[in-house]
Amino acid sequence: VGSRAPLADDEQPTSDLRPRVVVKNAAEICVPQPDGRGVDRLKKHALAIADGAVTWLGPESALPASESEGSEVFDAEGYAVLPALVDCHTHLVYGGDRVLDFVRRAKGMSYTEIAAEGGGIHTTVRATRSASDEDLFETAHERLLLRRAHGIATTEIKSGYGLSIKDELRMLEVIEALRHAGFDLESTLLAAHTVPKDIERDAYVGQIIDVLIPSVAERRLARFVDVFVEKGAYTLEEARRIFEAGKKHGLLSRIHADQLTAGGGAELAASIGAVSADHLEHISDQGIDDLARAHVVGTLLPGALTYLGEESQRLGRRLVDRGVEIAVATDENPGTSPTSNLPLMATLACARMGLDADEALRAITLGAAHALGRDDIGTLKVGAKGAFLLIEHADSRALVASYGEPIICDTYGF
């Protein structure tokens, strides 16, 4: 075992474009089970990558000459190799911060009291609207670079701090510019995040349906449309109308459901065929069964739960045991989960939501990929994107056990 130092937060893993590489001397290669709940930890295996995709995976002793000839060797030095991580739920384009919200909440103030003092989500809406395009780009760019040190190669980003036609489009344009800067991003129109204060709500829902969705779809600014279904946010009926409009224009649905109250969001996700239903802290038993039957991925956000000081009643365990495929994401946003540390979220999903370590590993790789409707990432099977990370331990599960400490010592193909 060599002496690779873990990457510091501000250190850039090199972006490798070597055309052909063979990974050798791995203690194990972690491959999420396509239909199972966990991962396979393959010992004495090798991995070949050509032109950015996995071309071979098997016992190192059986590596064909056709794969190794002319390839560079990536020496894993007895460490574990895992697929690059996927974060399927973030709000990381925003202006300002919400430090004062945290300070107030830590003093015991309620959401309503914080809002009455001028805090809450509308703080971020104001700061985002008044930030320049360049500021929004630069701050999000820094957040994305930090994510590479946490092993994340693919990130979903939502709009939702614009709350007007102009500012929602502007957020999606910033995401598009970040994609052109070389990040693997998925973008989501979340115009129905909270209800704007400067327009009547029916008129705004009308704008989302009649203007935003058609123009976002036509300009291909997002693949998904999302709605925050909650008391004080949007109703089931409004959400259904927005998702139907999205469908008509080819946008896939994802939903913020049952975070604060059991509001029927999971049941709606199943009935409209959403790819993912997220949060779910107050999901009903009926909602769980509906998600399982409709093959909607349940996305757990243990960072928000923990930051807000709430309890989950072993939500992850309940979902898995009733047959729901799950993902774990950061929910990176300034108000309720200002973190990009996805491995730490996997730790919290075990400690606070009842997952086991194998399930948590799958949830930040292939489960998250499925929550984005993709099967080319979050795995190292043949044909998948050739992006992986190396951790300073022989057991893949150390990534989850490490409690957010920097254990990732190299990345490839990001």
* Residues lying near Zn ion in the complex (CB under 5 A): 331
Considering beta carbons, is residue 42 or 296 the nearer one to Zn ion? 296
Distance of closest approach, residue 301 Cβ to Zn ion, in angstroms? 7
- The amino acid present at 314, given as its one-letter code, is R
Considering beta carbons, is residue 94 or 204 the nearer one to Zn ion? 94
Considering beta carbons, is residue 337 or 347 the nearer one to Zn ion? 337
Distance of closest approach, residue 156 Cβ to Zn ion, in angstroms? 10
User: What tokens appear for 110 in the block?
Assistant: 């309620």
Place of tokens 């060797």: 73
Distance of closest approach, residue 237 Cβ to Zn ion, in angstroms? 21
Distance of closest approach, residue 157 Cβ to Zn ion, in angstroms? 11
Distance of closest approach, residue 60 Cβ to Zn ion, in angstroms? 42
Considering beta carbons, is residue 299 or 402 the nearer one to Zn ion? 299
Contact at 8 Å (CB) between 360 and 396?
no
Considering beta carbons, is residue 186 or 331 the nearer one to Zn ion? 331
Stated as kind and residue range, the H or E segment containing 318 is helix 315-321
**DSSP secondary structure, 248-304, as one string:** HTTPEEEEEESSSS--SHHHHHHHHT-SEEEE-TT--HHHHHHHHHHTPEEEE-HHH
Distance of closest approach, residue 331 Cβ to Zn ion, in angstroms? 5
Distance of closest approach, residue 56 Cβ to Zn ion, in angstroms? 38
E-state strands within 69-180? 72-75, 80-83, 85-87, 152-158
* CB-based burial, 229-241: b 16+ in 10 Å, e otherwise: bbeebbbbebbbb
CA 220 from chain centre, in angstroms, equals 20
Considering beta carbons, is residue 307 or 414 the nearer one to Zn ion? 307
Considering beta carbons, is residue 28 or 331 the nearer one to Zn ion? 331
Residues 6+ apart with CB under 8 A from 7: 13, 149, 406, 408, 409, 410, 411
Q: Which residue is nearest to Zn ion (CB)?
A: 331
Contact at 8 Å (CB) between 193 and 161?
yes
Considering beta carbons, is residue 331 or 392 the nearer one to Zn ion? 331
User: What tokens appear for 235 in the block?
Assistant: 């109703």
Residues 6+ apart with CB under 8 A from 95: 124, 127, 128, 129, 130, 131, 135, 136, 139, 161
The DSSP letter of residue 209 is I
Distance of closest approach, residue 255 Cβ to Zn ion, in angstroms? 10
Considering beta carbons, is residue 161 or 183 the nearer one to Zn ion? 161
Q: How many CA atoms are closer than 13 Å to the CA of 176, on its beta-carbon side?
A: 14
Distance of closest approach, residue 36 Cβ to Zn ion, in angstroms? 28
Residue 410, helix vs strand vs coil: strand
Residues 6+ apart with CB under 8 A from 33: 39, 40, 362, 366
Considering beta carbons, is residue 101 or 331 the nearer one to Zn ion? 331
Residue 382 falls in which region: left (phi positive, over 0), alpha (psi -120 to 50) or beta: beta
Distance of closest approach, residue 371 Cβ to Zn ion, in angstroms? 13
